[in-house]
Chain A
Amino acid sequence: MSRTPLYDAHRALGARMVDFAGWEMPVQYRGIIEEHAAVRTRAGLFDVSHMGEIELRGAGALAACQRATANDVGRLRDGAAQYSLLLDPGGGIVDDVIVHRLDAERLMLCVNAANRAADLAYLREHARGADVVDVSDATALLALQGPRATAILSGCTALALAEMPRFTFAAAEVAGRRALVAHTGYTGEDGWELYLAAGDARAVWDALLEVGAAHGISPAGLGARDTLRLEAALPLYGHELGPDTSPYEARLGWVVQPGKGEFVGRAALLAARARGPRRLLVGIELVDPGVPRAEYRVLRDGEPVGVLTSGTKSPTLGKGIALGYVDPAASAVDTALAVEIRARAAAARVVPLPFYRRGGS
């Protein structure tokens, strides 16, 4: 099993390690609910070095990235990032990625750990004209998230963080080490992601925890990362997204930019859009007690109308929440549904997404 450069740090912090996509990763340190609350109210530090980083380099890099991704890379300036999708020719989702434009001849894609090999093969096939370079093993990735994240990071870098809009990034020194500092994240909170040389990860991790101590920082594991992203209704590959899901069904139509010109899956997507969705991703809240979970069936008037893709008891809201695909006819907000939990049909309803939005509402 693979280990990140922070494996020893996790063990020293008493983390419970689990196998995640072939990586030995911390699922929790002191407890998922405590770590979740730390991110919502103060700050959490995640090691997400298992994620992959693949660069497209050379004079053909931009054009290659336009062909290989669904969003419009032409909208990016140097130092800007974009959520995007890799699609197969049938319009199914190969991966969801963040594209970073370093400059006109160098783009960096942050990809899901489980899809790294598939993405690499995909890009070698569909991003011809660019040099496709997997820099994952040399790169560590930390995510510092939460309302105190900017104050903590400010204590470790001279970079003018307040002047960086969301989805921009800059090269800077953090705790004396070179980093790519990105104003991105996956928790529903404000925060930062730091791309580092693998050998620098431990020094920066320790510095952030030290500076963050006064702000109530907590190391946070993959368990909290999952409950946080679910409250924020951020899709997860393998759950909400996969080769059988269309971006339109996943309500990611805003990511797909057919107007930009040809890209892999474009024709299939246009056809899918014309046909209309067979099912739609919705937010479901349990009215009855219980914990909704992935793969549980969704019923309407006793008849199956869909299936959950992710679910949990929301630590912030104290209710069972879930994402799932249902028949479009059962997708309107406030539709009364039920979730089949063991032999019981627990009353539920469709709610607006996200379940949780930073700063209330």
Chain B
Amino acid sequence: MEFPDDLKYSREHEWVLVEGKVATVGITAFAEEQLGDVVFVELPAVGDKVTKDEAMGVVESVKAVSDVYAPVSGTVLEVNDDLPESTELVNEDPYGDGWMVKIELSDPTDLDELMTAAEYEAFVQEQQE
């Protein structure tokens, strides 16, 4: 399972790519594997304010419904418009074409609470034990 080094990770299994004041967010390979085939994705709208640790969307697999939590607070700048029609991208490329939203950070210190790749990998291993 992949845990790219250039990303940060939340305890709710979202990944965050930080570029300046913009955070690109998706769910991790571990999360999509746990869910199985993703068949429905509901994302916030551009301009929505999202709050760290609060639900901002929903991802549904054949068997399960799961909230997607905002790993940082801010304003939604962009959403992945391909996802509602091509939900399989979440499974096929969770860290690439399966990205979900770009958020303009309102408080960059939110990033301090996220995990590094190594910390997240250990966290996932703990969850599997």
Interfacial residues, chain A to chain B (CB-CB below 8 A): 16, 27-28, 31-34, 223, 227, 289-291, 293, 312-313, 315, 342
Choose from B62, B63, B84 the contact partner of A289 (Cβ within 8 Å).
B84
Determine if B78 is an interface residue (Cβ-Cβ < 8 Å): no
Choose from A16, A223, A290, A342 the contact partner of B62 (Cβ within 8 Å).
A223
Interface centre among A227, A293, A313 (most CB of B within 10 A): A313
- B72-109: CB near A (< 8 Å → 1, else 0) gives 00000000000010000001000000000000000000
What chain A residues lie within 8 Å of B60 (beta carbons)? 291, 313
Shortest 4 CB-CB distances between A and B: which pairs? Answer: A313-B39, A33-B37, A32-B62, A291-B40
Once the chains bind, are B39 and A291 in contact (CB under 8 Å)? yes
Shortest beta-carbon distance, A305 to chain B, in Å?
23
Chain B interface residue count, CB cutoff 8 Å, equals 11
Shortest beta-carbon distance, A19 to chain B, in Å?
13
Instruction: Report the separation of the CA atoms of residues A290 and B91 in the bound assembly, to the nearest whole angstrom.
Output: 18
- B26-69: CB near A (< 8 Å → 1, else 0) gives 00000000001101100000000000000000101011010000
Choose from A34, A289, A291 the contact partner of B65 (Cβ within 8 Å).
A291
Known: A313-B62, A342-B58. A289 touches B36 (CB 8 A): no
Instruction: Report the separation of the CA atoms of residues A220 and B31 in the bound assembly, to the nearest whole angstrom.
Output: 22
Known: A289-B84, A342-B58. A313 touches B40 (CB 8 A): yes
Once the chains bind, are A223 and B39 in contact (CB under 8 Å)? no
Choose from A32, A289, A290 the contact partner of B37 (Cβ within 8 Å).
A32
Instruction: Report the separation of the CA atoms of residues A34 and B37 in the bound assembly, to the nearest whole angstrom.
Output: 9
Once the chains bind, are B63 and A223 in contact (CB under 8 Å)? yes
Instruction: Tell me whether chain B's interface is mostly helix, strand or loop, or mixed.
Output: mixed
Instruction: Report the separation of the CA atoms of residues A349 and B40 in the bound assembly, to the nearest whole angstrom.
Output: 20
Instruction: Report the separation of the CA atoms of residues A40 and B37 in the bound assembly, to the nearest whole angstrom.
Output: 17
Query: Which residue from chain A places its CB closest to the CB of B62 in the assembled complex?
Result: A32
Instruction: Report the separation of the CA atoms of residues A315 and B39 in the bound assembly, to the nearest whole angstrom.
Output: 9
Instruction: Report the separation of the CA atoms of residues A34 and B65 in the bound assembly, to the nearest whole angstrom.
Output: 20
Shortest beta-carbon distance, A33 to chain B, in Å?
5
Instruction: Report the separation of the CA atoms of residues A223 and B63 in the bound assembly, to the nearest whole angstrom.
Output: 7
Once the chains bind, are A28 and B36 in contact (CB under 8 Å)? yes
Once the chains bind, are B40 and A290 in contact (CB under 8 Å)? yes
Instruction: Report the separation of the CA atoms of residues A28 and B91 in the bound assembly, to the nearest whole angstrom.
Output: 15
Once the chains bind, are B84 and A223 in contact (CB under 8 Å)? no
Instruction: Report the separation of the CA atoms of residues A223 and B62 in the bound assembly, to the nearest whole angstrom.
Output: 8
What chain B residues lie within 8 Å of A31 (beta carbons)? 36-37, 91
What chain B residues lie within 8 Å of A33 (beta carbons)? 37, 39, 62
Known: A289-B84, A342-B58. A27 touches B63 (CB 8 A): yes
Once the chains bind, are A223 and B40 in contact (CB under 8 Å)? no
